[in-house]
Amino acid sequence: MVSKAMEDREILETISEIARRHLQWSGSLEPSQRLVEALALESIRLLTLVVELENHFKICLDEQDEAGLTTVGDLVAAIRSKLA
């Protein structure tokens, strides 16, 4: 069974990869970083990130999930809970 820590690392890597491919972003992501600032997200970039994450993980994030997203770690947790 995949541990929670391992799963979180893989999710974080996937977020980074999607940001590189679809947001022309480069750098490293840490769970403690503030999501909007770390990825320079305005509304269209945020939507692009969310849609591509939904496509990759075959999940649907709803408004309630998104309302609580402050840090990169929050996004990782939201995705993990949808995958559970």
Establish if 8 lies at the interface with another protein (CB under 8 A).
Answer: no
Establish if 81 lies at the interface with another protein (CB under 8 A).
Answer: no
Establish if 55 lies at the interface with another protein (CB under 8 A).
Answer: yes
Map residues 15-34 to x or -, x wherever contact with another protein holds by CB under 8 A: -------x------------
Establish if 47 lies at the interface with another protein (CB under 8 A).
Answer: yes
Q: How far is CA 55 from CA 10, 52, 58, 76, in A?
A: 16, 5, 5, 15
Give me the least distance between CB of 62 and another protein, in Å please: 9
* Cβ-based neighbours of 65, under 8 Å, separated by 6 or more: 78, 82
Q: From the CB of residue 15, how many other CB atoms can be counted at a distance below 10 Å?
A: 22
